[in-house]
Amino acid sequence: MSEKLESLRQLLAAKLGDKIQHSVIANGELTVVVPAAEYMAIAYLLRDDPDLRFEQLVDLTGLDYSTFSGQDFSTRFAVAVHLLSVSRNLRLRVRALAPDDSFPMLDSLCEVWPSANWFEREAFDLFGIVFRGHPDLRRILTDYGFVGYPFRKDFPISGYVEMRYDQEQGRVVYQSVTIEPRENTPRIVRDDNYGNSGRG
């Protein structure tokens, strides 16, 4: 398998040249990092080039590298796209870093692979990554009035608001989170004869 991935890596290097910022084979997968400005053009090439033919986008997700201790990334947010070439039986991960941390934005891949639609909406909803040219970019998993992006590393585990049904108002209301800090030490309760085998 590694020979197949290495030959794919060399083929991509020949086709894309210096447009590949970084490539690595790890855990039986090839990952290439491409610049945000070339993201859409590279997607078309990966789909349409007869030597590559990545016909299917299998997955797309956002990434937050704000607390990442591995490779040094110049920006905080990125998108990883998992592609499949059915005709060549190859898989590829393409990663592009959003250039602006305060307003992360990349081109939408919906016109290249229509399956990107809901994945990009999910990345927008959970990470706040905007996809330029998306046909219907709106939240897909969180509530209508939700504030923030819950998969960002700086989003509090308890959230900012909670909701409850108010009997007097007859509707659901939002309020600040009221969760008290809890002690997570387990309490062990044992029978009096625990561990006693019954022998004298």
Distance from CA of residue 24 to its chain's centroid? 19
Look up residue 185 and give its DSSP letter: P
pLDDT digits (tens, 9 = 90+) for 93-115: 999 999 999 999 999 999 999 99
DSSP single-letter state for residue 18: G
Sign of CA dihedral 6, 106, 110, 27: positive
Distance from C-alpha of 126 to C-alpha of 148, rounded to nearest angstrom: 8
Asked whether the CA dihedral 73, 8, 19, 83 is positive or negative, the reply is negative
Which residues contact residue 111 at a Cβ distance below 8 angstroms, ignoring those fewer than 6 apart? 133
pLDDT tens-place string over residues 146-175: 888 999 988 877 777 777 899 999 998 888
Q: Given a cut of 90, is residue 189 above it in pLDDT?
A: no
Give the Cα separation of 85 and 88 in Å (integer): 5
| pLDDT tens per residue, range 112-153 | 999 999 999 999 999 999 999 999 999 999 887 788 899 998
d(CA 24, CA 32) in angstroms, rounded, equals 7
Mean pLDDT for 47-63 is: 96
Question: How many CA atoms lie less than 13 Å away from 84 in the CB half-sphere?
Answer: 8
| pTM summary value | 0.79
